[in-house]
Structure 1
Amino acid sequence: MPLGFGWQPDLPDGRDHTYRDRSIRESLGRLQGSPDLPLPDQVDLRGDSEGEYFTEVDDQGPLNASTAFAVLALVEYFQRRVHARTFDASRLFLYQATCHRGSIPGRPLTDSGAPIRGTLKTLMRTGVPTESYWPYQVENFATEPSVFVCAGAQRPVNLCYFRLDEPNTNGARTWATVKSFLAAGFPVVFGFSVPASLTREANIPYRPELDGTRGGQTVVAVGYRSDHYGPDQDALLIRSSWGRQWGDNGNGWLPVAFLRNQLARDFWTLFSDDWIRTGELTRPVLGDTFASGSRL
């Protein structure tokens, strides 16, 4: 059974960038794509004939470090797909640095998980060294990285993060947005309430009237399948950080009912203007979002 979790829901913040911000809308609008094409019934971003876009799923163990795992997996995808580069960053360093941002100076770190926004902000402002500098060893959570390790931290360049769900937006609307970005080649990191009935099976149960909550977990949406559980019962294909022994080699299916009923939220993804001419990503189908001056 999974041991660690780690999603802390984001507190509302009016400064959040969203896909409808003018600068982001203009950048996404420069991608190739046709708004008239219907979305496919199934998407899987884990790889294609060109190769694999993610490395094997790792195990966070008992630490509540899932947000660091998910955020770095998201960066890894774009590095491998867009730039054909390897990316092996320190999950432990990012988790510790994020915890430090929200802690009281002088007090020891507490293993209480981390919000997605805060983890992305830490990545952009502090950076992260490679895994070889500061390996993921659970027993080192309370140990401060050395000056040498911290000096090796590198920050992403020309990269922005933005959210796909907004305050007062219903789950059905958010699902339509997330689905559009997945179909355009953008994985999405998010958090969900883990049901008490979770097992090692790839299909996560949705039965809110019977289940308690074990905790919050941050994962990466790497695809979807329409009618996975039956008519109008879609599912998100998710990448966990519970190791390859969980689900299908660490991947599983989350009913979209979680999203529609606000049990999954804080959906974020990444973009860089450097990716526009690569042809690896397409323009998300978002109605008139990219029309001049439009704001849904």
Structure 2
Amino acid sequence: MSKPTLTHDLRSLFGDVRDQGIRPTCLAFAVSDCHAALRNGWDPLSAEFTFYHAQRRAGLPPTQGALLLRILEAVRDDGQPPETSWPYLPDLPTDLDHWGPPAVQTKYFRNFERGPGSFDEIVSNLLAGSPTVVVLCIGEAFFNPVEEGVIEGFPGEKDVIRHAVVVVGAGNVGNERALLVRNSWGPLWGVNGHAWVTENYISQRLRRIAVLKEEVSVSAHENAA
């Protein structure tokens, strides 16, 4: 296999790859990490806080995966505090009545854009300095990237779940254009928590993309909590 080559790389905006564990919180992690990356210096933001508010907005339990739009609305309207304000919970409390955010002093709010997206649009975002949240339908190959951290789909591979990651780089794998993605499955997945997906893989499995835009003030959102 040809060694991947980078042409654009935004990994310097991010800190260590985080691990969502067994909970269905990939969207909260992807959007939270993009939000933190756009701020000065790396200070992780609370995925737990954003997941909580997204599930409230959608009327969904915390045992179910979030909706992209509701996660984005939570960042824009409810704000997001530093990770230290409400650290991520590896497991939910047995009594879900005890699952709720503490009072926080500092929150950051940011606008967003989302859409069906395309490979070229994602690359354009990278050129503009914007990491991109992508929602993919993934199959078995995604769980075990091969040598050099490349994900190779195979004919007849069945989709298992929808999953969100952050595109942080672009380049080539052999003669094919490819994207470098940051996952939320810890540093042991892929190469230090990152892996390559080719343009062909993306074109078959991409469902939605989102980018975070300008920072907004709390006064602009009457529903902020």
TM > 0.5 fold call: yes
1:212 matched to 2:212? The reply is no
Alignment partner of 1:236 out of 168, 179, 182 = 179
Amino acid at match of 2:33: A
Deviations 1:110-134 (A, max 9, x none): 4221122210101111112322221
Q: How many residues end up aligned between the 2 structures? A: 206
Alignment partner of 2:47 out of 81, 86, 91 = 91
**Distance change >3 Å, CA 130–CA 204, structure 1 → 2:** same
CA contact (8 A) 1:128 1:152 kept: no
In the other structure, the counterpart of 1:193 is 137
**Distance change >3 Å, CA 110–CA 90, structure 1 → 2:** closer
In terms of Rg, which structure is larger?
1
CA distance in 2, matches of 1:248, 1:123: 29
CA distance in 2, matches of 1:163, 1:186: 13
1:43 matched to 2:43? The reply is no
In the other structure, the counterpart of 1:144 is 99
Aligned ranges 1:120-159 → 2 under 5 Å: 120-140=72-92, 142=96, 143-146=98-101, 149-152=102-105, 154-156=107-109, 159=110
1:203 matched to 2:157? The reply is no
Query: Is the partner of 2:142 in helix, strand or coil?
Result: coil
1:246 matched to 2:189? The reply is yes
CA distance in 2, matches of 1:270, 1:129: 16
Task: Report which of the two has the higher share of strand.
Answer: 2
TM-score scaled by length of structure 1? 0.64
Give 1:103 shift. 1.3
Task: Report which of the two has the higher share of helix.
Answer: 2
**Distance change >3 Å, CA 272–CA 133, structure 1 → 2:** closer
CA distance in 2, matches of 1:204, 1:133: 35
1:177 matched to 2:121? The reply is yes
CA distance in 2, matches of 1:162, 1:270: 6
TM-score scaled by length of structure 2? 0.82
CA distance in 2, matches of 1:66, 1:88: 15
CA contact (8 A) 2:111 2:215 kept: no
Amino acid at match of 1:85: G
Deviations 1:11-31 (A, max 9, x none): xxxxxxxxxxxxxxxxxxxxx
CA contact (8 A) 1:129 1:150 kept: no
Unaligned ranges ≥5, structure 2:
217-225
Deviates more, 1:242-251 or 1:135-144: 135-144
Unaligned ranges ≥5, structure 1:
1-39, 48-52, 167-173, 275-296
Amino acid at match of 1:92: E
CA distance in 2, matches of 1:87, 1:216: 27
Deviations 1:2-56 (A, max 9, x none): xxxxxxxxxxxxxxxxxxxxxxxxxxxxxxxxxxxxxx97111112xxxxx1010
CA contact (8 A) 2:131 2:211 kept: yes
Give 1:138 shift. 2.2
